[in-house]
Amino acid sequence: MKKKIVILGSTGSIGKITFNLIKKNKKKFDIVLLSTNKNIKELIKQAKIFKVKNLIVNDNNTFLLAKQKFKGFNFYNSFSSIDYILKNKKIYYVMNSVVGLDGLYPTLRIIKYSKNIAIVNKESIICAWNLIKTQLTKHKSNFIPIDSEHFSIFSLIKFEKKSSIDQVILTASGGPFLNFKKNDTKHISIKDALNHPNWKMGKKITIDSSTMINKVFEVVEAKKIFDLKYNQIKIFTHPKSYIHALVKFNNGIIKLLAHEPNMLIPIFNSIYSDTSKKLPTRQIDLPILNNLKFDNVKKKDFPLIKILNLLPNNETLFETALVTINDYFVHKFLEKKINYHSMIKFIIKSVKSKSILNLRKKKVRKIDDIIKIKKLLSFKLGKICI
Which are the contacts of 308, defined by CB distance < 8 A and separation ≥ 6?
Answer: 216, 219, 230
Which of 114, 136, 157, 137 shows the shortest CA–CA distance to 8?
114
Distance CA 199, CA 195 (A): 9
Mean pLDDT of the 158-169 span? 95
User: Is residue 301 exposed (0-12), middle (13-18) or buried (19+ Cβ within 10 Å)?
Assistant: middle
Tell me the residue type at 87: K
Task: Pinpoint the residues of the chain covered by CATH 3.40.50.720.
Answer: 3-145
pLDDT tens, position by position, 291-336: 999 999 999 999 999 999 999 999 999 999 999 999 999 999 999 9
Residue 182 has pLDDT above 70, yes or no: no
Q: What is the pLDDT of residues 189-198, one digit of tens each?
A: 889 888 887 7
Residues pairing with 94 in the sheet: 6, 117
Full-model pTM: 0.92
SS3 annotation, 192-235: HHCCCCCCCCCHHHHHHHHHCHHHHHHHHHHHHHCCCCHHHEEE
pLDDT digits (tens, 9 = 90+) for 188-246: 888 988 888 777 777 888 899 999 999 999 999 999 999 999 999 999 999 999 999 99
pLDDT of residue 179: 77
Could you tell me the CATH superfamily of domain 3-145? NAD(P)-binding Rossmann-like Domain (3.40.50.720)
| Among the listed residues 88, 7, 107, the one whose alpha carbon sits nearest the alpha carbon of residue 50 | 7
Which one is predicted more confidently, 60 or 177? 60
User: pLDDT, tens digit, for every residue of 26-54?
Assistant: 899 999 999 999 999 999 999 999 999 99
pLDDT digits (tens, 9 = 90+) for 101-144: 889 999 999 999 999 999 998 889 999 999 999 999 999 999 99
Q: What is the pLDDT of residue 362?
A: 95
Q: Which long-range contacts (CB under 8 A, 24 or more apart) does 191-195 make?
A: 192/340, 193/333, 193/340
